[in-house]
């Protein structure tokens, strides 16, 4: 199979998420145009991304939801289970902690961390909670590969550094700070403000 370019990997994951929801809603087939509209890419980009999967071509026909999903999962090894942890148990952190959908997707939230022992004792969850000082030991002993950073911005880089020295493989940064990690660590950022800005810009440009 051809090497899949990195931006295509991200889009294929978005397509996978879309297909999964469509499957749950009972949809059997979808066109590349409809996929593009949902993940906000052009028809041509969607077809190109899917071409990397080495699927038989279905020119002019819709993609079968189930089949396409299977090909993406195989190419990106999405069936591999992974353990993640959440660092920072404020509002967003505890909301993610309670996010039950992860389990069905092969992601196990295996630990939560906070500075405040008071918070750790107060939060009711089946997930094991620890103080930040236990971060490295717990990540190593539980085989945690992904860290979800939900700490205040001023603590984000320090948290990332600790995750990196504990051998973390990927970081989802939900804090409002830019963090730097070595190239071998996969980093993605979630920012609600950016999403609102994207919507706002598109509203303005639609009027032109």
Task: Work out whether the CA dihedral 37, 39, 44, 46 comes out positive or negative.
Answer: negative
Segment 154 to 173, residues that bind a second copy, using CB under 8 A: 169-172
Q: How far apart are the first and last CA of the chain?
A: 43
Nearest distance from C-beta of residue 26 to a second copy, angstroms: 11
Among residues 118 and 208, whose Cβ is nearest to a second copy? 208
Angstrom distance (rounded) from CA 88 to CA 76 = 29
Beta bridge partners, 109, equal 84
∠172-192-44 over CA atoms, to 5°? 80
Letters for 87-126 (x = contact with a second copy by CB under 8 A, - = none) are ----xx-xxx-xx-xx--xxx-------------------
Q: Rg (Cα) of the chain, in Å, rounded?
A: 19
145 with 84: CB under 8 angstroms?
yes
Among residues 116 and 202, whose Cβ is nearest to a second copy? 202
Segment 17 to 36, residues that bind a second copy, using CB under 8 A: 17-18, 21-22, 25
Q: What phi and psi, each to the nearest 5 degrees, are found at residue 24?
A: -65, -30
Stretch in the footprint of a second copy (CB under 8 A) among 52-60, 61-69, 72-80, 114-122: 72-80
Angstrom distance (rounded) from CA 181 to CA 164 = 7
86 interacts with a second copy by CB under 8 A: no
Residues at the interface with a second copy (CB under 8 A): 3-4, 6-7, 9-10, 12-14, 16-18, 21-22, 25, 38, 40-42, 45, 76-78, 80, 82, 84, 91-92, 94-96, 98-99, 101-102, 105-107, 145-146, 153, 169-172, 176-178, 184, 186, 188-206, 208
């Amino acid at each position: 199979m051809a090497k899949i370019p990195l931006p295509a990997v991200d889009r294929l994951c978005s397509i996978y998420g879309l297909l999964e929801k469509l499957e749950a809603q009972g949809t059997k087939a979808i066109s590349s145009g409809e996929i593009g509209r949902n993940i906000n890419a052009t028809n041509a980009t969607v077809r190109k991304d899917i071409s990397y999967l080495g699927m038989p071509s279905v020119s002019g026909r819709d993609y079968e939801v189930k089949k396409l999903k299977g090909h993406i999962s195989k190419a990106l090894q999405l069936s591999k289970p992974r353990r993640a942890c959440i660092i920072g148990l404020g509002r967003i952190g505890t909301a993610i902690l309670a996010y039950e959908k992860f389990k069905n997707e092969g992601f196990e939230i295996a630990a939560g961390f906070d500075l405040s022992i008071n918070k750790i004792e107060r939060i009711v969850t089946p997930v094991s909670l620890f103080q930040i000082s236990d971060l490295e030991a717990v990540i190593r002993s539980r085989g945690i590969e992904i860290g979800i950073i939900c700490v205040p911005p001023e603590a984000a880089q320090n948290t990332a550094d600790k995750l990196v020295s504990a051998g973390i493989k990927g970081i989802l940064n939900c804090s409002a700070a830019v963090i730097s990690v070595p190239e071998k660590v996969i980093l993605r950022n979630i920012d609600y403000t950016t999403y609102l800005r994207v919507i706002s810009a598109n509203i303005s440009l639609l009027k032109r």
